[in-house]
Structure 1
Amino acid sequence: MFRTARRTALMTTVAVLAVPAATATAAPDETTAVDRLGDDPTELSRLVADAAAEAAARQQGGRAMRAPDSQQTLTAGLDAAVSGLVEGGAVGVTARVETPETVWRGADGDRELDHAPPAHPQDRFRVGSITKSMVAALVMQEVERGTWTLETSVEEVLPGVLPDGVTIGQLLSHRSGAPDFVTPAILERVSDPSSVEQFFDALEQDYTDPELVEAARSLPWLFEPGTDFTYSNTGYVVLGMMLEEVTGRSVESLLEDRVFAPASMRHTELPDEPGTKGPFLVGAAYTGAQGEGWYNLDAQDPSLFSSAGAVTSTTEDLEDFTAALVTGDLVDPALVEQMLTPRSVESLEYGLGVYRVPDPCEPGEYLYGHDGATFGTLAITLTSADGERQVAAGITGRNVSADPEALYDINDLLVPMLLATCSS
């Protein structure tokens, strides 16, 4: 596996990352990265669901890796799975499994593309859309306080920001019909859509929340609010704006006081500037051999994802968060039940800032959590309904090339992690 220098100019005849699928100039059988990432933001979520299904099949078929006296075998298998992802092309991996009987932590690879420091289990990373679960907790706290209901409209709080009739509940559940802002916001900063260099430069620029929302509104509204499901970052940026409007505080401050502190998330933050602090797994994007490979995202500006996906955290903190959320430590249990209840079941069983997948250890039960994907990092956190069994992972080195099989298969790690939560 080769890796190039961290600021290589990557010029391609196809705008692999920056051009919307509808306008990209590509060969008839060629799939661009936007086809894979921009048009299908639930791709990682479906992989997680597939991993849960495969783990359940193995568990029920008696082929699970865990046995009462196989702790050493279990640890060795998980360590090998982490190393396997790095051998397959991941830059750095940190992962954690926790059950009432045991805690396993593993890491492999490097903290940064072409840099020597090795990854460690406690390293921080960008968690992407797992941020949405945290912001959803803040929103439900306001519902608990009586500030809002799920039927409160955006128009009541932020007049003119979104079409009339869009509600808080619809934003939380991705049922508002709001287009996603990511591609149009980036294209606003790109003069040459064929330049991958310009695309990555755009990731390093500062964006404001109103700019992000306006970029989304430059596209047609997708459907009548409440009639369908389409995953959209836009809704959570608007929710962040609403929280700031009614509380007079920044989302960063609200998260620190009302989520991070009570959940004991000591290594988690919502940064407002580029760069990383302390031990950190820096994101990296693989753009394909034709484009000379890798691009380091060390200078990515968190403002592009804002309250939809800018949080940085660790696997331990993510597990502490998901356990605190589902067990009612952050939000009233009756409202937690509403968060965990799916509003959509066709493509993804998504509730209010949380989705569920079948629990491979307990037929008929579910694991709850979220995943996150930035352009250079993948993150996952899941917990059992009682908060006792948890998995979390952060992986840097994301395939954004036209070849979907260019790098590792994340489920080579996730399946054994899920199986490791099943006690005999």
Structure 2
Amino acid sequence: MKSLPRRPLTAGLAAVACLALATPAAAQPGNRTVLDGLTRDQTAQQVAAAAQQAKQNHRKGHGARISNPTLDAALAQMVADGAVGVTGRLESSTTTWAGAAGLRDKDAKSKAKPNDRFRAASNTKMMISVLVLQEVQKGVWQLDQPVADVLPTLLPDHSEVTFRQLLSHTSGMPNGTNELLFRHITDPSSQEQFEAAVKRDYAPQEHIDAINDAPWTTPGEMLYSNAGFVALGMLLEAQNGTSLQTLLRERVFKPAGMHQTTFDLEPRLTGAALHEDGWLGEADGWMELDQFDPDLLWAAGAVTSTTADLNDFTRALFSGALVSPALVEQMMTPESGAPLHYGLGLYRITDPCPSDDANPYLYGHDGAALGTLSVAFSSPDGQRQFSVGVTGRDLSTLQGRVNLNDVLVPMLQASCPAA
């Protein structure tokens, strides 16, 4: 990682320094604000708003008229607004499109390409959920079974926590990434401490130790928790006697045809990839993230993928190729109504396309790494998919310089079947 000039941090960056892939908010050691959850909520709100806007536009007769040049222009606009690189893909009965704009790295001349890899971050959670539900399908686990049955010492003060609660973020467990970073950031204004913390190599147990030492909220309320999925990763490894990397490769990536997807445990993306950079504002400039260690996310977000592979994953999932249709239905059923209609490892948004179907929603997830935002959604029949990856994330404000809706709205409109 190229160090930034050693200067006192601005108020915005001081907040970033304790965010854990988050948006600035009330950042002081010990503060219980779920910073990463706020960021994801912000991204999810953009996705939901895009679906609503696309639905309104479609009702006005603009649906399937969206052209590929319009989608290409939307990506170019995101770069003009401040993104470094953007890649998007849409596959439906009426439109097949893939595009890219910007650069693979802000300091290089190599242009972004449609098949470039990027950090998929919390889209990983859909894949971890598939592994858990495969254990349920085999009869090894039950959704409402306490995880203490598998690892009694995992959550010693919360032995009642179930698989369903971890998958739906309703166990009361805190975010975890924030609590983990605060163990290594004693001064929120210290750029040096922040850089060291995000480059540090973390063991899964460190995530769990951090939340076991922190206060929990009331079970049943949704509180977005990265640590909950770290716990699920540890449970999967304990149950199967093999690494999570192997389980994902053999039971998710291969059967879904995700040939460019990996579960990364080491820093630095290689090959054809969109490299991460985070914008810290005019005063502090760019933070290069080549030395960011994905162990900071592990089972909650260490997957690197492409838009093609993310579409292949959601198509395989909703076509019943990874788990049974009955369990996919369980995944889609919301366990909470606020801030997200979140099921088991995924959430739903309004389907903008007119339909007589009893399920008028699209399902998927979003991801927010330090320098990358991503989205992957599908119709429940597996017939329409769209995904986006954006690097050059603005960490200085809640709103950011780039609005995902600029590309999501036309993508959603273009996905609608012809009238």
CA spacing shift, 1:10–1:243, aligned 2, 3 Å? farther
Q: Which amino acid letter does the alignment assign opposite residue 418 of structure 1?
A: L
Post-superposition shift, 1:283? Answer: 1.4
Q: Which amino acid letter does the alignment assign opposite residue 59 of structure 1?
A: H
User: Separation in 2 of the partners of 1:336 and 1:13?
Assistant: 45
- Structure 1 residues 217-263: Cα deviation after superposition (integer angstroms, max 9, x where no partner): 2221111x2x2111111110000000000100111100000000000
Structure 2 residue 290 is matched with structure 1 residue 325 = no
Structure 2 residue 375 is matched with structure 1 residue 380 = yes
2:152 to 159, 162, 174: 159
TM-score w.r.t. the length of structure 1 is 0.91
CA spacing shift, 1:204–1:367, aligned 2, 3 Å? same
User: Separation in 2 of the partners of 1:352 and 1:385?
Assistant: 14
Post-superposition shift, 1:207? Answer: 0.2
User: Separation in 2 of the partners of 1:136 and 1:338?
Assistant: 11
Post-superposition shift, 1:197? Answer: 3.4
2:81 to 85, 88, 98: 88
CA spacing shift, 1:330–1:412, aligned 2, 3 Å? same
In the alignment, which residue of structure 2 is the partner of 1:52? Answer: 51
User: Separation in 2 of the partners of 1:149 and 1:345?
Assistant: 23
CA contact (8 A) 1:6 1:294 kept: no
1:11 to 5, 8, 11: 8
In the alignment, which residue of structure 2 is the partner of 1:311? Answer: 303
TM-score w.r.t. the length of structure 2 is 0.92
Quick one: percent identity of the two aligned structures?
A: 45
In the alignment, which residue of structure 2 is the partner of 1:410? Answer: 404
User: Separation in 2 of the partners of 1:37 and 1:62?
Assistant: 38
SS of equivalent residue, structure 2 residue 194: helix
- Structure 1 residues 77-104: Cα deviation after superposition (integer angstroms, max 9, x where no partner): 0000000000000010000011124311
CA contact (8 A) 2:176 2:210 kept: yes
Following TM superposition, the consecutive aligned residue runs of length 4 or more in structure 1 with deviations greater than 6 angstroms are: none
Of residues 345-354 and 11-20 in structure 1, the stretch that sits farther from structure 2 once superposed is: 11-20
User: Separation in 2 of the partners of 1:376 and 1:310?
Assistant: 13
Post-superposition shift, 1:213? Answer: 1.2
Post-superposition shift, 1:414? Answer: 0.7
In the alignment, which residue of structure 2 is the partner of 1:217? Answer: 212
Structure 1 gap ranges (5+): 26-33, 68-72
* 1:178-197 equivalent positions in 2, closer than 5 A: 178-197=173-192
User: Separation in 2 of the partners of 1:253 and 1:154?
Assistant: 22
* 1:18-33 equivalent positions in 2, closer than 5 A: 18-19=17-18, 21-22=25-26, 24=28
SS of equivalent residue, structure 1 residue 415: helix
Post-superposition shift, 1:13? Answer: 5.1
Post-superposition shift, 1:37? Answer: 4.4
* 1:270-309 equivalent positions in 2, closer than 5 A: 270-290=263-283, 292-309=284-301
CA contact (8 A) 1:17 1:196 kept: no
Post-superposition shift, 1:56? Answer: 0.5
Structure 2 gap ranges (5+): 20-24
CA contact (8 A) 1:288 1:406 kept: no
In the alignment, which residue of structure 1 is the partner of 2:92? Answer: 99
How many pairs align? 403
CA spacing shift, 1:338–1:202, aligned 2, 3 Å? same
RMSD: 1.9
